[in-house]
Amino acid sequence: MLRDWYRRWLFLFFLVYIFLIIVFTPCFLNKKEPSQKICGYVISYPDKYYKEYRFFLKTGNSKFLVSSNSQRLGEISLYDYICFDCEHKRIESKNLPGNFNFEKYLRYKNVFYSLEIKGNIEIKKSHFLFAKLSSLRKKMKEIISDNFYKDELAVIMGILLGEKEDLSKDFRKAVINSGVMHLLVASGSNVAYIATMVAIIFSIFGFNNKLSKLISLLFVFSYAFIVGFDPPITRAFLMFIFGYLIYSIKRNIDLFQILILCAFTMIIFNPLSIYDSGFQLSFLSVYGIITGYSLYSRYFLIKKINIFKKDKLNDFVKDISNKIISMILLTIFAQLAIFPLLVISFYKVSVISPLSNIFLIPISGIIMSASIFLFIFNKIMIVSNFLVFVLKILVSLFIKLCFYFSSFSFSIIYFNFTNDLNFVLIFIIIFIILNFPIIDLTSPISRSFISLVLIFFFISLIFKDKKTGVIDFENFNIKGNIISKDEGVYIINPVVGEEKIISSLYYLNNSEVKAILVTSKSGFKKDIIEALRKNLDVDKVYVPLWLGDKDYISVFDGDNAEIFDVKFYNKYGYFNYKSKLLYCYRDVCY
């Protein structure tokens, strides 16, 4: 019975171990300051970030983020041993609250300092096998980079290797809003594609099923190394290993136990993995798929079709229909399981993702397969040219569909929980929904528990945990502010992206914008203002009189703008492009 999942010792030990990790987390953190000369192992592939390379280095019990603009970093591979002189600094996040917090992200990777390489780098290459796989990765990147550019390159690099740094700003936004960012991250589906492709190819050549799976395992390990053992890839790789072992010894163990066993294995070797968003999203999405699909699919899948006279045609239509239904169900249950994490991480959720994934998942699978074949047959000109031609068509279609699905006004919704209790209760409600078919509703305990959860949930909606205060930000030396008060929010000089500002407002649980106020020409970003007005329904925008923009309310010294007194900052004694206003509330001017 599926309800026995939660009574098994493995699952109970897993929960206890997670609790112990949370309690003793400070014991795992190592904030030791690095020395001037440092040696260690490279534990991530160098990624190009603007004009420099960045990667993680492990030395003893410490980890560091290393950066340099030296081209030699392009030669470094996973698990190389390197030594260098460096300067270090404490990592601090300068992003707006509610947006990606780089400092927090690295803290739970046990990384507290960034190192800048000074002088020469001594490199001792890793084991022959690892070095060979790293060179294969470099060769893949070279072949792809020689044939594709800009967003085309970003799509293939993302789907094949999980690299997203080349995504343009507009395309990144389209991918997120269409709900398919998971396709541009090396994930479990990639492992499934590799394993399936290899098994089919070797089966065609007469290899038996067991040997085909063993060979698939070797290819999956190679791919996991080439990608860099990110949490989703590691999870899928471990599930494949455990699945193969269980198949070999002919034991009947369900996917839920395999999933828990994989998670247990990962956090035994790295307890801080439980704080990694990739780890959380990967395991929760698979949990949602395993639970939801196994319990609900029988209610949605078509058992029989009698539309056509020929049975084969009916069976074909039934199979195609069930594949589409399955894809929708898988997306819905995966999204449902990770919904709370998406909200507290991004404060928005893609509503259109179940529809967009129907089209984009198959396309991404074909792109990945074609990219691998391009690497294999790169030396055969006719074949490689044909594959490049096919890939350009597929990638172009992928990009256009992302922009198409993200263009709908309802493609995403911004959202936040009213308070911490509301967040916990949402998690419990999702757990109930996923497991509802196996809940014994005849039991008074079950009915009482569900009733109490719903009662407390509706009560939690009443009390909104609104954060008040002032958030300062800066962009190209232009300062701005978000002033959160009980009655609403005032935004002064919105000079950072509207997405960042909106996320901050939902983090504050205070998205009612009373007005936008601009102090100067340099603080006037009309495209950002219009985007905020569109998403937040802002009516009043105050700008300096000398800007002469008739779309907004012009103000000057002595005027009032909502709760603020307007003053002219007369630094130069005359108007110039640097002239600005001050918006003063009580004794504070912005």
DSSP labels, 442-490:
TSHHHHHHHHHHHHHHHHHTTS-----EEEEEEETTEEEEEEEETTEEE
Q: Are residues 114 and 178 in the same domain?
A: no
| Closest alpha carbon to 156 in 183, 193, 130, 135 | 183
3-state helix, strand, coil in the chain (%, to 5): 55, 15, 25
**Residue 22 domain-assigned?**
no
Residue 437 sits in the same domain as residue 482: no
pLDDT by residue for the chain (590 residues), tens only, comes to 456 778 888 888 989 999 999 999 888 888 888 888 888 888 888 777 767 788 888 888 888 888 887 766 767 888 888 888 888 888 887 788 888 888 888 888 888 888 888 878 888 888 777 778 888 888 888 888 888 888 888 888 888 887 766 778 888 888 888 888 888 877 777 777 777 777 777 777 766 667 777 777 788 787 878 777 777 777 777 777 777 777 666 666 678 888 888 888 888 888 888 888 888 888 898 899 889 888 888 888 888 877 777 777 877 888 888 888 888 888 889 889 988 888 888 888 888 888 888 888 888 888 888 888 888 888 888 988 898 899 999 999 999 999 999 988 888 888 888 888 999 999 999 999 998 888 888 888 888 999 999 999 999 888 888 888 888 888 888 888 899 998 889 999 998 888 888 888 888 888 888 999 988 888 888 888 888 888 887 878 998 888 877 888 888 888 888 888 888 877 666 566 678 888 998 888 88
Q: Identify the domain boundary among 299, 319, 347.
A: 347
**What is residue 401's predicted lDDT score, i.e. its pLDDT?**
92
Closest by CA to 113, choosing from 28, 29, 47, is: 29
Split into its structural domains, the chain has a count of 5
pTM for this one?
0.84
Q: Say if residue 71 is in the same domain as residue 139.
A: no
Query: What gap in Å lies between CA 177 and CA 527, rounded to an integer?
Result: 19
Asked if 47 and 107 sit in the same domain, the reply is yes
Residue 48, domain CATH: 2.40.50.140
Contact 504, 413 (CB under 8 A): no
Domain that holds residue 476: 469-589
Closest CA to 1 of 335, 192, 256, 180: 256
Last residue of a domain, one of 437, 460, 483: 460
